[in-house]
Amino acid sequence: MSAPRLFSPEEIKKRLETVDPVLCVEEAFRSFSRGEAIVPPPGELIFDNPPGDVHIKYGYIGGGAFYVVKIASGFYENPRHGLPSSNGVMLAFDRRTGALAAILDDRGHLTDIRTAAAGAVAAKYLAPENVETIGVIGTGLQAELQVKFLQSVRPCKNILVWGRRAEAAESYAERMRKDGYTVAVASSVEDVAERCRIIVTTTASHEPHLHGAMIRPGTHVTAMGADTPDKRELHADIFAAADLVAVDSRVQGALRGDLKGALDARTVELDRVSELGQIIAGTAKGRSSAGQVTVAALTGLAVQDVAIASAVIAGDI
């Protein structure tokens, strides 16, 4: 039996240049909602001092060559020490024999990419066609990537950002300006909700940022930071006000993040919630009018990891 192929961070980034992550994740969502993927509940470790969490996600797509196990971490004080907040590794095993086929030493990069791609997929089917300003809640790497991946589905170079720390928001604005974006720093979350018809939340908050009364008609919100049972970026009342609610997985979303909070508060019923894969496949409706309020509450699905890892190693093993 041959030794597993080791993919370095540099090689992974090089190979991603030939992959369309948005299409990759879109097809993964479609497969999941068709019942073609096996994705058990994720495992996780949550730390208090310093604050952080580790996710173990795993699964396979029917007909695929590999099953994938991913370990990904987020330690939110790392940037203060000059370290990236995310890290991790993906392991791909031959689905026919169980042999370890590849080690993807991505340091969390593939998770970052597939998460940003999921935000673009949500916007493709749920966001207004014309976007004048992208509202961003959060100032980290994912706040950058979400905007950059949105360009493929809703091109817009104007950003309004809000961060809990003013200096972090200013630093984010400076980084994005260097990449050709026009960026203003909002004085409040209310300011973002007032001025933006597409809003992306990218934080690890345990307290909601956005409330239903803030959201104006025609707004789409993608919330992608609340990926554990106790994290919250959206108040439960947003779900009552929304015309359409979508998630990556109803089963997983009912157990963690913003949808769990809304279900616990009884501001939404699970039968009102669609999966992105259903919308992509046309078995559930996406945005149907300009004035609708739409919400995508994403918790991160192992099928995304399976798809992006398989795309990186395709043709090599």
How does residue 317 score in pLDDT terms, banded at 50, 70 and 90? very low
Please name the residues in contact with 20: beta carbons below 8 A apart, sequence gap of 6 or more. none
* Interval 173-203: pLDDT, tens: 999 999 999 999 999 999 999 999 999 999 9
Please name the residues in contact with 311: beta carbons below 8 A apart, sequence gap of 6 or more. 19, 21, 24
Tokens 């992550």 belong to residue: 21
Amino acid, res. 95: R
How does residue 1 score in pLDDT terms, banded at 50, 70 and 90? low
* Interval 231-246: pLDDT, tens: 999 999 999 999 999 9
Tokens 């993927």 belong to residue: 37
Residues in a beta bridge with 38: 60
Amino acid, res. 248: D
- Dihedral pair phi/psi, residue 161, rounded to 5°: -115, 145
Domain 5-110+303-313 fold: ornithine cyclodeaminase, domain 1 (3.30.1780)
Say yes or no to pLDDT of 315 above 80.
Answer: no
- Residue of higher predicted confidence among 317 and 247: 247
**Which residues in 21-65 belong to E strands, given as ranges?**
37-38, 43-48, 51-61
Give the pLDDT score at 70. 98
Burial class (CB in 10 A: 0-12, 13-18, 19+), 43: exposed
Asked whether the bond before 21 is cis by omega within 30 degrees of 0, the reply is no
In the chain, pLDDT over 90 holds for what percent of residues? 94
* Interval 64-102: pLDDT, tens: 999 999 999 999 889 888 888 889 999 999 999 999 999
- Rounded distance, CA 136 to CA 155, Å? 15
How does residue 316 score in pLDDT terms, banded at 50, 70 and 90? low
Looking at the domain that runs over 119-301, which CATH code has it been given?
A: 3.40.50.720
* Interval 288-310: pLDDT, tens: 999 999 999 999 999 999 999 99
* Interval 17-74: pLDDT, tens: 999 999 999 999 999 999 999 999 999 999 999 999 999 999 999 999 999 999 999 9
For the chain, residues classed under CATH 3.30.1780.10 are 5-110+303-313
Mean pLDDT, the chain, rounded, equals: 96
For the chain, residues classed under CATH 3.40.50.720 are 119-301
